[in-house]
């Protein structure tokens, strides 16, 4: 419980209507897309940077934790207020401020829904490439704080590659602008990209300027059915090494296929172990040539059926299955732990094999689906949280997954961030010196440790 005087002070900053304290509100702001939860003491929904700044001044003075929150679609428990305090939801700050066609950059407030920013850019005839599957239910600020990436990042890179400038508010309430529209900038440390991926622990992002690009003329998509998962892994590698230059390679394993088929009844075959979804883009000739190369490689590597979409609708249908997996898994088991370990291209087949071993070893269904082309395999462990013994096995399996990833030269997280769920493994991935240096950065930016305390590391 916060001191009523402080509550009143916060109310005077953001307005009573946007200072939420009822038991119902505390429930609604206690979770993200993981299976964990913890209630805040209070929620503020500021409408501008000044209010963000004023709230942080109060919180810093009183040493109250402040957890920035977008749309709570995070998969690392990053926006859950484990230590109570204030949840600061940026969702009302959702204005698109500028589309600068000359510099090909857009500026928006942090709470804008990512897909709405992309749609505004598309209306001008351009492409904002970052395309997290969750882009219609996550914010630009959340995408920046987690450095989100989507299917297209194989060719076009992740959110961080598009962030040019930020307005952030520091723990003590000072407002700071970072970066700018110049495309090359080596004036001091690159603080923009320190904030990218910082999961709300260094500053609150209130505004961002992102780059966009010319939209590729056309896209081609192919879907390949593999009786053997291992063959799909080899095919990914071969396509990457070819001249196909894919903009996306997504994988769905057997369990993912079954789960999504049960949800959508699309007529997917149920006797195969994997589907690869491959996309190319560019001008007509490039896209077509690329998809044909990729399709041929899949056939050679053991696909028993390869379909190349001929219409936009067919492409949409192919994508529909992939886009619906994550959610449809709830039909199998109530809980899932989605890991996003990412390994170097060369290690994709090896990692797939290791994941399956871990699944057998711990007797837990582990589903693989996701942006496989960039090595981001998305193994999802399915379980029932109410069964303590099973939850225990999950922990062990997670440990093994991280070991395996790091063992083949990969990372703990490709896109979801560390949050609290991967905290115990941070040193395994980074080594003690790097963790120590990161902690020092945190201390310098947030000496009172009020910004999302306990995330990434203690």
Angle 367-138-43 from CA coordinates, rounded to 5°? 115
E strand residue ranges, 18-136: 19-20, 42-44, 66-69, 86-89, 96-100, 105-109, 126-127
| Residue 457 to residue 88: CA distance in whole angstroms | 21
Report if residue 365 touches other proteins, rule: CB under 8 A. no
Report if residue 108 touches ligand FAD, rule: CB under 6 A. no
Considering only 48, 103, 136, 305, the residue that binds other proteins (CB under 8 A) is 136
| Residue 159 to residue 128: CA distance in whole angstroms | 9
**Partner from other proteins, ligand FAD, ligand SF4, none contacting 141, C-beta within 5 to 8 A by type:** ligand FAD
Report if residue 68 touches ligand FAD, rule: CB under 6 A. yes
Q: Are 67 and 31 in contact (CB under 8 A)?
A: no
Report if residue 347 touches other proteins, rule: CB under 8 A. no
Considering only 15, 157, 334, 454, the residue that binds other proteins (CB under 8 A) is 334
One character per residue 176-215, x = contact with other proteins (rule: CB under 8 A): ----------------------------------------
Count of CB atoms situated within 10 Å of the CB of 136: 14
Alpha helices for 166-308 (secondary structure H): 192-195, 229-241, 254-264, 284-300
Considering only 10, 33, 110, 236, the residue that binds other proteins (CB under 8 A) is 33
Nearest to 425 by CA among 390, 389, 456: 456
Residues 325-364 that bind ligand FAD (CB under 6 A): 326-327
Considering only 263, 344, 399, 448, the residue that binds other proteins (CB under 8 A) is 263
Angle, in degrees to the nearest 10, between helices 229-241 and 284-300: 140
Shortest Å distance, C-beta 381 to other proteins: 13
CA 244 to each of CA 80, 330, 348: distance values in angstroms, whole numbers, following the listed order: 42, 35, 18
DSSP calls for 5-19: HHHHHHHHHH-GGGE
Residues 286-345 that bind ligand SF4 (CB under 6 A): 327, 330
**Partner from ligand FAD, other proteins, ligand SF4, none contacting 343, C-beta within 5 to 8 A by type:** none
Instruction: State the Cα torsion 145-151-157-161 to the nearest 10°.
Output: -30
| Residue 229 to residue 225: CA distance in whole angstroms | 10
Report if residue 134 touches ligand FAD, rule: CB under 6 A. yes
Q: Which is nearer to other proteins, 73 or 413 (CB)?
A: 73
Candidate ranges 63-71, 261-269, 287-295, 346-354; the one touching ligand FAD (CB under 6 A)? 63-71
- Looking from the CA of 450 toward its CB, the CA atoms found within 13 Å total 25
Report if residue 111 touches other proteins, rule: CB under 8 A. yes
Instruction: List residues binding ligand FAD (CB under 6 A).
Output: 32-33, 67-75, 78-79, 90, 110, 132-134, 138-139, 141-143, 145-146, 148-150, 199-200, 204-205, 326-327, 415-416, 452, 455
Instruction: List residues binding other proteins (CB under 8 A).
Output: 20, 22-25, 27-35, 45, 71-73, 89, 91-92, 94, 111, 113, 115, 123, 134, 136-138, 263, 324-331, 334-336
């Amino acid at each position: 419980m916060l001191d009523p005087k402080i509550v009143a002070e916060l109310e005077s900053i953001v307005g009573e209507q946007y200072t939420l304290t009822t038991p119902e509100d505390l429930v609604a702001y206690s979770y993200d897309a993981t299976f964990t939860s913890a209630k805040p003491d209070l929620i503020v929904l500021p409408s501008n940077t000044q209010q963000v700044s004023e709230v942080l001044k109060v919180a810093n003075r009183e040493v109250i934790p402040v957890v920035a929150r977008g749309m709570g679609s995070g998969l690392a428990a990053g926006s859950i207020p484990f230590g109570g305090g204030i949840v600061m939801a940026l969702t009302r700050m959702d204005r698109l401020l500028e589309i600068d066609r000359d510099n090909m950059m857009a500026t928006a407030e942090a709470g804008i829904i990512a897909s709405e920013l992309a749609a505004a850019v598309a209306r001008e005839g351009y492409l904002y490439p970052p395309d997290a599957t969750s882009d219609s239910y996550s914010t630009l600020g959340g995408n920046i704080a987690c450095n989100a990436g989507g299917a297209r990042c194989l060719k076009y890179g992740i959110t961080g590659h598009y962030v040019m400038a930020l307005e952030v508010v520091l723990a003590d309430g000072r407002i700071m602008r970072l970066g700018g529209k110049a495309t090359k900038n080596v004036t001091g440390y690159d603080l923009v990209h320190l904030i990218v991926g910082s999961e709300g622990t260094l500053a609150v992002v209130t505004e961002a300027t992102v780059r966009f690009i010319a939209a590729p003329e056309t896209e081609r998509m192919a879907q390949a059915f593999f009786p053997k998962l291992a063959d799909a892994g080899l095919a990914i590698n071969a396509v990457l090494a070819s001249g196909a230059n894919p903009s996306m390679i997504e994988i769905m394993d057997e369990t993912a296929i079954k789960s999504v088929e049960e949800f959508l009844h699309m007529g997917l075959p149920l006797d195969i172990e994997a589907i690869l979804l491959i996309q190319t883009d560019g001008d007509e000739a490039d896209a077509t040539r690329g998809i044909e190369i990729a399709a041929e490689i899949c056939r050679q590597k053991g696909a028993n059926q390869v379909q190349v979409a001929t219409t936009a609708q067919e492409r949409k249908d192919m994508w529909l299955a992939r886009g619906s997996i994550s959610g449809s898994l709830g039909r199998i088991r109530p809980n899932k732990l989605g890991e996003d370990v990412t390994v170097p291209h060369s290690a994709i087949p090896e990692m797939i094999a290791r994941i399956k071993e871990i699944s057998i070893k711990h007797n837990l269904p582990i589903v693989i689906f996701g942006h496989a082309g960039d090595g981001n395999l998305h193994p999802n462990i399915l379980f029932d949280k109410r069964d303590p013994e099973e939850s225990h096995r999950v922990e062990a399996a997670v440990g093994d997954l991280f070991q395996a990833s790091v063992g083949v030269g990969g990372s703990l997280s490709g896109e979801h961030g560390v949050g609290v769920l991967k905290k115990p493994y941070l040193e395994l991935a980074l080594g003690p010196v790097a963790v120590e240096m990161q902690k020092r950065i945190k201390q310098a930016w947030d000496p009172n440790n009020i910004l999302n305390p306990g995330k990434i590391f203690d």
